[in-house]
Structure 1
Amino acid sequence: MTIDTNRRIDLLCNLGTWMMSNDDGWMEAQYRAVSANAWFTPEHISLAINNIVSQFLQRDKLTAWLANYQLPAEPKIVGIVMAGNIPLVGFHDFLCGFISGHYVHMKLSSKDDVLLTYILRLLGEWEPEVLEQVEIKERLNGCDAYIATGSNNTARYFEQYFAKYPNIIRKNRTSVAILDGSETDEELALLADDVYLYYGLGCRNVTQVCVPREFPFERLLKAFTRHNSYADLNKYKNNFDYHLAIYLLNRVPYMSNESILMVENDLPFSAVSVLHYKYYDDIAAMKEELKTNDAIQAIIGHDFIPFGDSQKPALSAYADNVDTMAFLCGL
């Protein structure tokens, strides 16, 4: 392999510029991705692209990030099993594998296999040796190490199957927000993005809010009406109607603004169209509890990730808080 690090950076920066273009083939690929997955929308694909380009594919950010690592001198074969819950959710793993210089064998999710396939083909047109380094595979046999993302159930199979090899196995994660009651209307409106974007399917979506007693929920629900149009998607509305029926039948107290159901629940994980809330009496204790919860990917709020930024992770904001690049560089 003769692609050096500087050339890889050049290719990624060029890719960032191209991903923001209206290239006919790229637009058609986005259309096909929407047709292949009923949860994908043109708006959400554009959002994912914008965040990837702005956070990952900038020369200064790539250079500063890579300065923290000693890239391996001898490439290994790394198998990557990707998720498909939101558009291009596996891009960061692809980027880490590619920039580290390892041979990357990717198994794409059938829910999100259009965009990254197109991106890889384009990189191969610019630099044919990319296709010698990165390949899409149906089976990941004969790899030296593995990175696999899935549910808690599939993680058990991954752990058994890949136990003999260095690995990163990712499980279900979610994100929460902690509110203190002093939030502005603008901050609550931004929190709506953290909750609703990608229909709440990402591990960085807020699925629970921790609030002080007497919190003014009417302000929160009013701010969330900016995304009431989400109820127009059949799959989302079906979830809303189903859970509403369950709460009514079981006489579970709830609040709603026509596009989301809010119920009190200590669990951070909630269903699509549902947002859990949890009261606290001591905010300092609540913050410590959240920081030590392994199921939480990100915390949104004052002193944490700013409202509205949950879906804009930096290069170093690794899934499950496990440093993917350190893992790859240590093989």
Structure 2
Amino acid sequence: MIFRTTRYKTFELLGEYLTDPANALLLEDWAFRANLTNNWFTPENVLNSLQSIGERYLTAEALKEWADRYPEPATSRKVGVIMAGNIPAAGFHDAMAVLLSGHTLLAKLSTDDSVLIKFLLDKICLIEPAFHDYIQISERLNDAEAYIATGSDNTARYFEYYLGRKPSIIRKNRVAVAVLTGEESREELTALGEDILRYYGLGCRNVAKLFVPTGYDFTPFFEAVQPFESYCRNHHKFFNNYEYNKSILLVNGEAHLDNGFLIVHQNKALVSPLSVVNFEPCENLDEVRQHLEEDKEKIQCVVGMATNPLATVPLGKAQRPGLSDFADGVDTMAFLSKL
């Protein structure tokens, strides 16, 4: 097994590589390669994801906290990771957790995100060649002794049937919600636009629903998110979704608000189509709290002002999780340390 200090130092050096301005052109090249494979992965979004990984996951301070918190597993295991591909480098956190725990990674990559994950894993092996023996990319994970799988609610049932006999973490669909009070500043509402529109709403941490006070005026919100207009209108897939969803609402005669690239629709559903944000008026925070409790198994995080007692993530930070912001609230490192 690779020494623990070596494992953590390798990822620290990867973080330095991703955040070093001297590597900007190389990272841009990889961002364009990822975009050629998946049109949703614009170079801007790819670079945003890599920068966030370097700044939020791979700092010496963050990694030391992890090293101090989790014990070494008694035995090194083969851990199969079925990766998501909804946003750039979505599967990296799981891969990192497996390797930092001292286990062998058996990775089934998403076809939508194979370029970035291979790039990051290859870079890890360049920094520390010993990792070559602990990383396998494969379509079949029959040799795995434990599993981490991310997918839709439908694929989760498949995972549970076939993988549930071994230790496993199986993730389903989740979304983020925002709780607004009407006291948010323009800057905070612009930050909310980042939570909604970064990665075009494809991530499990993208805000898909707003809880707002009864009679909430959306004019300041639409004014604040105007800087995202070109970002949305110039992406043909996103804008096609916008035009399609707008036409459906118009044909059905459903009331909605629209600023030319983003639709706000009163709807109790947590999940909204791309380019649409659902909202639900509530009389007070107690009513919102009840809704959050009822849907807690479907909510990834709750975004809001720092002074909002219901918020778990500040406005503008939903897409910049830290190391310990585990998907679905399940501590991946604790699971791996007990194998």
The TM-score, its normalising length taken from structure 2, stands at 0.94
Report the secondary structure of 2:238's partner residue.
Answer: helix
Tell me: CA distance 1:254–1:23, structure 2 relative to 1, closer, same or farther (3 Å). Answer: closer
- Corresponding residue number in structure 2 for 1:172: 173
Give, as a single letter, the amino acid of the residue that structure 1 aligns with 2:164. A
- Corresponding residue number in structure 2 for 1:102: 103
Tell me: CA distance 1:276–1:160, structure 2 relative to 1, closer, same or farther (3 Å). Answer: same
The TM-score, its normalising length taken from structure 1, stands at 0.97
Give, as a single letter, the amino acid of the residue that structure 2 aligns with 1:64. E
Shift of 1:123: 2.0
Shift of 1:270: 0.5
Report the secondary structure of 1:78's partner residue.
Answer: strand
Preserved CA contact (<8 Å) 1:120 1:131: no
CA shift digits 1:15-36 (9 cap, x unpaired): 1111234266544322110111
CA shift digits 1:274-325 (9 cap, x unpaired): 0000011121231243145210001001232111000111111100111111
Tell me: CA distance 1:281–1:24, structure 2 relative to 1, closer, same or farther (3 Å). Answer: closer
Query: Within 5 A, what are the aligned runs for 1:243-322?
Result: 243-292=245-294, 293-301=296-304, 302-303=308-309, 304=311, 305-322=313-330
Q: Distance in 1 between matches of 2:58 and 2:135?
A: 18
The unaligned stretches of length 5 or more in structure 2 are: none
- Corresponding residue number in structure 2 for 1:14: 13
Large movers: runs of 4+ above 3 Å: 23-27
Q: Distance in 2 between matches of 1:203 and 1:181?
A: 25
Shift of 1:125: 2.3
Query: Within 5 A, what are the aligned runs for 1:1-331?
Result: 1=1, 3-21=2-20, 22=23, 25-229=26-230, 230-292=232-294, 293-301=296-304, 302-303=308-309, 304=311, 305-331=313-339
Preserved CA contact (<8 Å) 2:80 2:107: yes
Higher mean C-alpha displacement, 279-288 vs 50-59: 279-288
Report the secondary structure of 1:294's partner residue.
Answer: helix
Q: Distance in 2 between matches of 1:317 and 1:11?
A: 21
Root mean square deviation of aligned Cα: 1.3
Q: Distance in 2 between matches of 1:312 and 1:11?
A: 22
Preserved CA contact (<8 Å) 2:84 2:150: yes
Q: Distance in 1 between matches of 2:336 and 2:111?
A: 25
Shift of 1:117: 0.6
Q: Distance in 2 between matches of 1:24 and 1:55?
A: 21
Give, as a single letter, the amino acid of the residue that structure 1 aligns with 2:187. E
Give, as a single letter, the amino acid of the residue that structure 1 aligns with 2:224. A
Preserved CA contact (<8 Å) 1:225 1:259: no
Report the secondary structure of 1:146's partner residue.
Answer: strand
Higher mean C-alpha displacement, 46-55 vs 193-202: 46-55
Give, as a single letter, the amino acid of the residue that structure 2 aligns with 1:18. Y
The unaligned stretches of length 5 or more in structure 1 are: none
CA shift digits 1:178-211 (9 cap, x unpaired): 0011111111111010001000000000000000
Count of aligned positions: 330
Higher mean C-alpha displacement, 20-29 vs 49-58: 20-29
Report the secondary structure of 2:318's partner residue.
Answer: coil
Report the secondary structure of 1:208's partner residue.
Answer: strand
Preserved CA contact (<8 Å) 1:193 1:308: yes
Report the secondary structure of 1:188's partner residue.
Answer: helix
Preserved CA contact (<8 Å) 2:31 2:42: no
Shift of 1:126: 2.6
Report the secondary structure of 2:69's partner residue.
Answer: coil
Shift of 1:97: 0.3
Q: Distance in 2 between matches of 1:23 and 1:14?
A: 16
Q: Distance in 2 between matches of 1:103 and 1:31?
A: 30
Q: Distance in 1 between matches of 2:51 and 2:207?
A: 20
Q: Distance in 2 between matches of 1:122 and 1:184?
A: 41
CA shift digits 1:35-77 (9 cap, x unpaired): 1101011111111011111110001111112322112131011
Q: Distance in 2 between matches of 1:139 and 1:25?
A: 32
